Amino acid sequence: MGADLKGKVAVVTGSSRGVGKGIALSLGEAGATVYVVGRTDATHKATVPLTGTVEDTVNEVTQMGGIGIAARADLRDDSQTEALFQRVSDEQGRLDILVNSAWAGYEGLHDMSDFPFNQPFWERRLSYWDDNLFSTRAAYIASALAARIMVKQESGLIVNISNNVDKRQEGDRNAAYFNSKNSLHLLTADLADELRGNHVTVVSLWPGLVRTEGIMLHEKYMDLSNSESAQFTGRAVAALAVDPDVLSKSGRSWWVSDLANEYGFTDIDGKVYVPTWKP
């Protein structure tokens, strides 16, 4: 039997599509109330050539047994982020889980404007830095606002979706991307240190190759035989959320596949996928 999150409240940023959507679905599968946060809704078009709106995710979360709530917000605007968490506090009176999954670093890959992916930093558009570092800033702001709720209730889980950039392949070069991921890992450790005394856990998760809408745009160029669904990462979040000893994991980064083996969950096809680049 999977995790039971009935009565728990979650905010998942970047969940109109991609890994964020998969996490929202898995939390819904566990019975949680999920605020689905993204920029794309029925009246705001996507900035990338990908399907998915906050309403779409909300409908699927509810179909899976949770309570989905659409919360359209652009996290580049702090006032919208503040309004989001004030709404959660006003409507629910609590917040148990925050997942920081909003990410803009791949947008130029989706519309082909940032190819090739490994071009030298001096040949890239200068705004590429802002797109990549956006995720760290968004995670910091959202975590600060979530912490104001979680500290009062002396409990909570904050999850940052990231990637392991310690073991790079020969020829890998992407200064903005690597700085973004490394800064997010440092942020995770620093926030965890400050929040540990208030019984709030902060971790980073490392998925493998995930079959997001963006990846599937380029599937003919990729080997997807060892790829995973976005819900696999979501099941890791759900498992962490019900672990009574989760605070012992705070401040660290965890492979989703390692948590699957520890907690005994699988992907939606019943398998556990281990990334080929995992050391």
Report, as residue numbers or ranges, the catalytic residues: 177
Closest CA to 16 of 45, 62, 48, 55: 55
Distance CA 163, CA 161 (A): 7
Contact criterion met (CB below 8 Å) for 47 and 107: yes
By the 8 A CB rule, do 204 and 159 touch?
yes
Main-chain phi, psi angles of 72, to 5 degrees: -70, 125
Residue identified by tokens 């071009």 is 119
Q: By the 8 A CB rule, do 249 and 157 touch?
A: no
Q: How buried is residue 180: exposed, middle or buried, by Cβ count under 10 Å (0-12/13-18/19+)?
A: buried
Q: How far apart are CA 89 and CA 214, in angstroms?
A: 33
For residues 69 and 33, is the Cβ–Cβ distance under 8 A?
yes
